[in-house]
Amino acid sequence: MTSPIRVETGSDPALAVVTIDHPPLNLYDRDLHTALVEAVTQLETGKPRGALFRAEGKVVSGGVDVRDSFLPISQDADVEAGTRYFAELVELGERVHRLPFPTVFAAHGLTLTWAFELALACDLIVAAESASFGLIEATVGLTPAMGGTQRLAQRVGQGRAKYFVMTAGRFGATEMERWGAVDRLVPDGELDATARTLAQDLAAGPTTAHAATKEILATLAADGLDTANARTAEIAGKLFATADLRGAMDSFVERGHGKATFRGA
């Protein structure tokens, strides 16, 4: 059986492209869960310098296959099984969030539940103008459990996150950009090229410095401003031992700004 997710490097080995292709609606089921775990493991072990998450089909995802993922657990009222399953989802979101290189998510259409939570675990979200988003778990008596609620709150504030999750509504990309949930909004026909170019540019850049940026911001989110400030000198100072920094400094002195090339080391 063809995997519902594929990871490709193509002509640019620095950039891994993760494509969700599980027709007709890219619903989250056991097969997709297994494939996503394998894809994230491949990113962790392959160590590209950037990753683009995208989807094939009319929608990014119509949500979760409730019959496959949740119905057996709910019929048995199995709290332990539900807790174990959600623990796997939380850890999966954390693994994406902790990847030590830039990650970009491209949303071309309807992006519900797990797919939006995956997008929120990425560093940047690029959306087509016709895209829309929703965390609609409340319609079946659940709450998002891949870390989406808290990551959305970090982007837009707790009030809007509660409104978004509790109403289980669907919100357009324009509104989501205005809230700060979407980082870049582009015309429908430009999404793929824009997202790929952004991801490629980030992957070709000073990825050790990008990793440091992610570590500082992760420290801020976990431990607050004072701790992030206390750790910034240590995190940023290590960059002076990298070949990328030394090469970029030499390039700046010899040729001016913006001429350096980076190897991610």
Residue type, 34: T
Residue type at 113 in one-letter notation = T
Question: Which one of the listed residues 129, 137, 175, 234 is annotated catalytic?
Answer: 137
154-186: buried (b, 16+ CB within 10 Å) or exposed (e) per residue?
A: ebbeeebbeebbeebeebbbeebbebebbbbbb
129 has catalytic annotation: no
Question: 8, 44, 117, 234: which is the annotated catalytic residue?
Answer: 117
For the sheet with 124-128, list strands across it: 5-8, 15-20, 50-55, 103-107, 124-128, 184-186
Contact 56, 20 (CB under 8 A): yes
Q: Which residues contact 107 (CB under 8 A, 6 or more apart)?
A: 60, 115, 119, 125, 126, 127, 128, 131, 133, 173, 182, 191
Nearest to 122 by CA among 61, 53, 201, 174: 53
H helix or E strand, kind and range, residue 52:
strand 50-55
How many whole angstroms separate alpha carbon 121 and alpha carbon 208? 19
The number of beta carbons lying within 10 Å of the beta carbon of residue 229 is 12
User: Is 137 noted as a catalytic residue in this protein?
Assistant: yes
**Where in the sequence numbering do the catalytic residues fall?**
117, 137
